[in-house]
């Protein structure tokens, strides 16, 4: 690991920081539990920081809102003003937020005697990545990627506001520019899938990124595959204890994610709209057949 200090001043010679790049709804919970069970001295957290709620019922809802505003804020998570700052090119603000996150991370690593921090979150690549890049001399990235149609369908089943976690597809700083008005809600999620893939490729080529790999959600249960993937980024591990995927949609009473004929038709239509340079860069699509494992 590099030992130099960066422009903001964070320096630690004996710790590694690894971040996922992903669209969300693609096995983050399952990956986190695999890391927690199988990688020694690893602090693996899923979409941290969590709002530390002590109350229940209606009071708990209010406590959650207050803590997300003032304590474990949306900004520390990577939402809210971080998304706006990324769009506006305000990297100084994002760097300050990332520095606060790093302080929390380092405290937790000290308490748990961890030497590896593994951040499993869809929010890192939405804007926080530029802040961490200015605070860390080096770090690693993992693209966690799910079948794009199933990923889209899982989001649609949740029926949430797309713009809570995403910017406009035609925002100047995005790598994939598409006109938002020309995209259906399903196509918006396909755009986000592609945008995260392209951001991963961009990050993986940066000098500060010391290791990078791609993990397919469909193979999280394959211990040999996961051992090879962790090996590619130099993460030591014991016997890998895999388990069935943790579907948080099901746990919340949301219907199962099933690919439909109309989903495939929508995807094919979106692929025709995809600019040629993006299509060439996203090699996942080269041999992709809807409904078949990658």
**Percentage of the chain surpassing pLDDT 70?**
91
Host H or E run for residue 194: helix 185-204
Q: How far apart are CA 67 and CA 59, in angstroms?
A: 12
Q: Quick: pLDDT tens for 132-191.
A: 999 999 999 999 999 999 999 999 999 999 999 999 999 999 999 999 999 999 999 999
Total count of residues recorded for the chain: 294
Residue 246's pLDDT band (boundaries 50, 70, 90)? Answer: low
Whether the predicted pLDDT of 113 surpasses 80: yes
Q: Each residue of 152-187: b (16+ CB within 10 Å) or e?
A: bbbbbeeeeebeebbbbbeeeebebebeeeebeebb
Tokens of 171: 């925002």
Starting at the earlier edge strand, list the strands of the sheet with 16-21. 42-46, 116-120, 16-21, 139-145, 209-216
Q: DSSP for 57-78?
A: HHHHHHHHHHHHHHTS-HHHHT
Residue 5's pLDDT band (boundaries 50, 70, 90)? Answer: very low
In terms of Cβ atoms closer than 10 Å to its own Cβ (0-12, 13-18, 19+), residue 132 is buried
Q: Quick: pLDDT tens for 53-84.
A: 999 999 999 999 999 999 999 999 999 999 99
Q: How far apart are CA 152 and CA 267, in angstroms?
A: 9
Domains of the chain: 16-285 (3.40.50)
Residues 6+ apart with CB under 8 A from 90: 84
Handedness of CA 147, 151, 152, 157 (dihedral sign): positive
226 close to 13: Cβ distance less than 8 angstroms = no
In terms of Cβ atoms closer than 10 Å to its own Cβ (0-12, 13-18, 19+), residue 188 is buried
Residue 255's pLDDT band (boundaries 50, 70, 90)? Answer: confident
- This prediction has a pTM of 0.92
């Amino acid at each position: 690991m590099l030992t130099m200090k960066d422009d903001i001043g964070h320096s630690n010679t004996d710790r590694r920081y690894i971040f996922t790049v992903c669209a969300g709804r693609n096995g983050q919970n399952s990956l986190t539990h695999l890391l927690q069970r199988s990688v020694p001295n690893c602090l693996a957290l899923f979409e941290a920081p969590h709002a530390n709620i002590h109350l229940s019922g209606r009071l708990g809802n209010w406590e959650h809102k207050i803590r997300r505003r003032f304590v474990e804020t949306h900004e520390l998570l990577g939402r809210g003003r971080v998304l706006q700052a990324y769009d506006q090119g305000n990297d100084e603000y994002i760097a300050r937020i990332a520095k606060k996150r790093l302080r929390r991370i380092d405290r937790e690593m000290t308490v748990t005697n961890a030497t590896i921090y593994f951040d499993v979150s869809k929010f890192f690549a939405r804007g926080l990545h530029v802040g961490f890049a200015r605070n860390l001399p080096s770090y690693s990235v993992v693209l966690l990627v799910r079948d794009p149609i199933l990923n889209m369908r899982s989001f649609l089943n949740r029926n949430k506001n797309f713009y809570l976690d995403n910017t406009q597809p035609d925002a100047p700083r995005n790598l994939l520019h598409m006109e938002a008005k020309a995209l259906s809600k399903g196509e918006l999620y396909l755009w986000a899938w592609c945008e995260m893939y392209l951001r991963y490729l961009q990050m993986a080529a940066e000098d500060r990124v010391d290791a990078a790999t791609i993990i397919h959600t469909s193979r999280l249960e394959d211990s040999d595959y996961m051992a090879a993937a962790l090996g590619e980024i130099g993460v030591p591990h014991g016997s890998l204890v895999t388990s069935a995927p943790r579907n948080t949609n099901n746990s919340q009473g949301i219907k199962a994610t099933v690919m439909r004929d109309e989903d495939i038709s929508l995807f094919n239509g979106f692929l025709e709209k995809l600019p040629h340079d993006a299509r060439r860069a996203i090699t996942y699509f080269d041999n992709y057949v809807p409904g078949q494992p990658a």
